[in-house]
Amino acid sequence: AQRVTQPEKLLSVFKGAPVELKCNYSYSGSPELFWYVQYSRQRLQLLLRHISRESIKGFTADLNKGETSFHLKKPFAQEEDSAMYYCALSRKGGNKLVFGAGTILRVKS
Amino acid sequence: GAVVSQHPSRVICKSGTSVKIECRSLDFQATTMFWYRQFPKQSLMLMATSNEGSKATYEQGVEKDKFLINHASLTLSTLTVTSAHPEDSSFYICSARESGQGYQPQHFGDGTRLSIL
C-alpha cells in the first residue's frame, strides 16, 4: 500500500535556524516524491520534486531509498517560510498523488 | 502561471440537496482533473480522477453514484454531491494537469467548503 507519513503536525523554529520537515513513505515500486506548500490564504502549490534535484526558495530534499525518506531541509529559516507543507508521492510517471497529513511550519522572529 | 478556478468557495445547504462544484482551468487545457476531499486536520484524499470525454476513475470506497463527476471539456470538470447529508460536509479540492508531453504538475483550486445542515 502507498503511504506517506509526516510525523510532526507542527514545527516551530526561530528565524535563521535550520529547518527539517520529515517525510517517510511506504511504496512497493519506484515512487516519485514531491513537496507541496500552502501559504496562508493561498492555494496548494508544488514546491519541489525529487526528480528535478533543484533548490527552490532555499529548500532541498533528497530521496533516501534505504530509509524511505524525503525530508525537506533549509539551512536558515525565514519568516515567509511559515506555511503548511505536504509531502506526496506518486508512481513514477503516474497521475495520482498520495499526500501526507501535512506539517505546519512556524518561523518565529 | 496556470490557474485553476473552483466555484463556489463555500456552500451551506439542507440535507437532501444536491450540490454542484465546478473546477475550471483558466489559461490551459487539462485532459486530466482530480477531485480530493479533506477532513479537518487530515490530509487530502483522492476521490476520483476525471478524464475529458470519458468516465471518471473512482478510488476505492468512493461511491460513484453519490459523487457524480463530469468532464465534458478540456477546461471544466464538475463534481455533484447528490442528496447530500451531514456526513458529506467536508473541504473539496480540485486540481488540473495541463495536457502535453513530459512531466506536468497538478495545479490546485482554492477548494470548496461544503456544510450540510
pLDDT digits (tens, 9 = 90+) for B44-79: 999 999 988 888 999 999 999 999 999 989 999 999
pLDDT tens across B97-117, in order?
988 777 788 999 999 999 999
Contact B4 A43 (CB under 8 A): yes
- DSSP, residue by residue, B66-100: TEEEEEEETTEEEEEETT--GGG-EEEEEEEEE-S
pLDDT at residue A72 is higher than 80: yes
Q: How far is B55 from chain A (nearest CA, A)?
A: 16
Grade residue A29 by pLDDT with cuts at 50, 70 and 90. confident
Residue A80, phi then psi, degrees to nearest 5: -70, -5
Q: Return the pLDDT at B41.
A: 80
pLDDT tens across A77-100, in order?
999 999 999 999 998 777 789 999
Measure CB to CB from residue A43 to each of B42, B45, B109 and give the nearest one.
B109
pLDDT tens across B18-29, in order?
999 999 999 999
Measure CB to CB from residue B32 to each of A44, A86, A95 and give the nearest one.
A95
Q: Return the pLDDT at A78.
A: 97
pLDDT at residue A69 is higher than 80: yes
Residues from chain A that touch B111, judged by Cβ atoms under 8 A, are: 43
What CA–CA distances, in Å, run from B43 to A20, B24, B78, B99?
Answer: 20, 23, 22, 26
B93 touches chain A (CB under 8 A): yes
- Beta-carbon contacts of A65 under 8 Å, excluding residues fewer than 6 positions away, are none
Chain B interface disruption, residue of A8, A9, A44, most B CBs within 10 A = A44
- 3-state SS record for A45-87: EEEEEHHHCCCECCEEECCECCCCECCEEECCCCHHHCEEEEE
What CA–CA distances, in Å, run from A73 to A8, A37, B17, B29, B76?
Answer: 14, 13, 46, 34, 37
- Beta-carbon contacts of A35 under 8 Å, excluding residues fewer than 6 positions away, are A21, A23, A46, A47, A48, A49, A59, A61, A70, A72, A85, A86, A87, A88
Contact B44 A99 (CB under 8 A): yes
Q: How far is A16 from chain B (nearest CA, A)?
A: 28
Residues from chain A that touch B106, judged by Cβ atoms under 8 A, are: 46, 97
Q: Return the pLDDT at B112.
A: 97
Residue window 24-43, chain B: list those with CB within 8 Å of chain A.
32, 34, 41-43
Q: Please, what is the average pLDDT of chain A?
A: 93
Residue window 49-78, chain B: list those with CB within 8 Å of chain A.
49
Chain B interface disruption, residue of A23, A42, A96, most B CBs within 10 A = A96
